[in-house]
């Protein structure tokens, strides 16, 4: 570790210990933990409900095939919800008939008994999610000065993407600190900076199959960077980047509009653009703009100076200098992945809440209707 990196770490520690930043970090962590706890409860009930519905629906349709088209009509989830609501409001006798027959299926009865717990856990998760999101927005507006954000933007144009920050931890405005120092602080000392930065991905409760595979790739990528196998690390990162790009682009598909497939990178980028622009979050808008521009350079047909060229590395042009990768370039690509991952998570978390709200919207409206009658 060189002297400048050590100075950066000391200044970073000092910057994180101001009363204002300490208070923000503590409150963010408290709200984040509450959100994770509520999400875990909601996921537990959701998993049970999905299994009851999977088995129960199959039995119901097998026993009463005449209701299959009636209950699944529509190209989007909004269509299905609208049809169910229309049936409930305009043909209550038919709804009563369906409900009566559903009670003949054990798994559907169990799911109905589970519904109050599921809806309550959804509500509590929504509140916790909103509380954390509001706090994070306020802290970013309050703690990140215009000069600090301008410096972040300048670094982002060089591929040093720092929009994962929730408080202004790095001493970016210090004239003695530069981008190379920031990158070196992440990969030096056995990549301890990267390990700490990415540790939340290894501490997830009950990760799914897809996330377990990504955890393996992230772990291996850090080890490859640490051992100097930068080109192999970058190949791993390209797969991780593609996965998050697809994940972000597929958010909200089939909910309000008919589900589409986005096979090309530009199509996916345009879809993500559309989603980001529909949300009121300037930080995420800025982060996506910078991520998208740098990612476009990485995957461009023609090489961009001082930017990793994906095509040369993936297609194995071993005779060209374009496949030469160093620890700085590999770490930049890791930051690109981290920022894209957080954007994809942001979109997918909002999608999940909307999706579940639509699922319970008919019963909620009917409940209000009965209360007002």
For position 321, what pLDDT does the model report? 79
Long-range contacts of 100-104 (CB under 8 A, 24+ apart): 101/60, 101/63, 101/64, 101/67, 102/56, 102/60, 104/63
For position 53, what pLDDT does the model report? 87
Q: Which domain holds residue 101?
A: 3-372
For position 93, what pLDDT does the model report? 79
For position 357, what pLDDT does the model report? 80
Other C-beta atoms lying within 10 Å of the C-beta of residue 260:
11
For position 362, what pLDDT does the model report? 59
For position 84, what pLDDT does the model report? 65
94: phi then psi, degrees, rounded to nearest 5: -65, -40
- Rounded to whole angstroms, the Cα distance separating 241 from 333 reads 9
For position 339, what pLDDT does the model report? 98
Overall domain count for the chain:
1
For position 138, what pLDDT does the model report? 96
- Rounded to whole angstroms, the Cα distance separating 140 from 126 reads 21
For position 269, what pLDDT does the model report? 96
Integer angstrom CA distances of residue 336 from 127, 179, 184 = 30, 15, 16
Q: What is the pLDDT tens value at each position of the chain, 373 positions in all?
A: 678 888 898 998 888 889 999 999 999 999 999 999 999 999 999 999 989 988 998 898 888 887 777 666 666 666 766 666 676 667 777 777 877 888 899 998 998 899 889 888 999 999 999 999 999 999 999 999 999 999 999 999 999 999 999 999 999 999 999 999 999 999 999 999 999 999 999 988 778 899 999 999 999 999 999 999 999 999 999 999 999 999 999 999 888 777 888 888 999 999 999 999 998 899 999 999 999 999 999 999 999 998 999 988 988 777 777 888 999 999 999 999 999 999 999 999 999 988 888 776 655 554 444 444 4
Give which of 307, 312, 306, 285 is closest to 296, Cα–Cα.
307
- Rounded to whole angstroms, the Cα distance separating 367 from 263 reads 42
| Sequence-ordered alpha helix ranges (H) in the chain | 3-16, 19-63, 68-72, 77-90, 92-102, 106-143, 146-157, 179-197, 199-202, 209-226, 230-249, 265-277, 282-298, 310-314, 327-372
Tokens of 171: 């001493």
- Rounded to whole angstroms, the Cα distance separating 204 from 7 reads 32
Cα-only R_g, the chain: 24
Other C-beta atoms lying within 10 Å of the C-beta of residue 245:
23
């Amino acid at each position: 570790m060189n002297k400048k990196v050590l100075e950066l770490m000391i200044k970073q520690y000092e910057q994180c210990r101001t009363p204002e930043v300490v208070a923000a970090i503590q409150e963010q962590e408290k709200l984040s933990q509450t959100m994770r706890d509520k999400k875990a409860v909601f996921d537990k009930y959701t998993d049970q409900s999905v299994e009851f519905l999977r088995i129960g629906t199959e039995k119901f349709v097998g026993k009463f095939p005449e209701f299959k088209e009636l209950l699944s009509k529509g190209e989007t989830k909004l269509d299905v919800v609208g049809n169910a609501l229309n049936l409930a409001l305009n043909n209550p006798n038919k709804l009563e008939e369906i409900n009566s027959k559903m009670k003949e299926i054990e798994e559907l009865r169990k799911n109905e008994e589970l519904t109050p717990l599921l809806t309550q856990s959804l509500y509590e998760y929504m509140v916790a999610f909103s509380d954390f999101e509001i706090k994070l927005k306020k802290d970013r507006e309050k703690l990140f000065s215009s000069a600090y954000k301008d410096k972040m933007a300048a670094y982002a144009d060089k591929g040093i993407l720092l929009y994962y920050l929730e408080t202004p931890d790095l001493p970016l405005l210090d004239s003695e600190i530069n981008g190379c120092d920031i990158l070196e602080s992440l990969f030096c000392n056995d990549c301890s900076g990267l390990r700490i930065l990415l540790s939340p991905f290894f501490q997830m409760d009950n990760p799914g199959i897809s996330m377990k595979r990504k955890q393996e790739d992230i772990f291996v990528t850090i080890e490859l960077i640490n051992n100097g196998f930068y080109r192999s690390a970058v190949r791993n990162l390209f797969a991780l980047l593609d996965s998050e790009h697809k994940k972000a682009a597929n958010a909200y598909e089939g909910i309000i509009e008919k589900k589409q497939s986005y096979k090309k990178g530009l199509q996916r980028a345009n879809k993500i653009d559309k989603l980001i622009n529909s949300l009121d979050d300037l930080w995420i808008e800025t982060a996506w703009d910078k991520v998208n521009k740098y990612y476009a350079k990485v995957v461009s047909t023609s090489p961009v100076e001082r930017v990793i060229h994906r095509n040369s590395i993936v297609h194995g042009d071993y005779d060209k200098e374009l496949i030469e990768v160093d620890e700085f370039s590999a770490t930049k690509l890791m930051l690109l992945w981290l920022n894209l991952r957080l954007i994809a998570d942001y979109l997918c978390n909002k999608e999940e809440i909307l999706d579940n709200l639509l699922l319970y919207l008919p019963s909620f409206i009917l409940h209000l209707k009965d209360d007002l009658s």
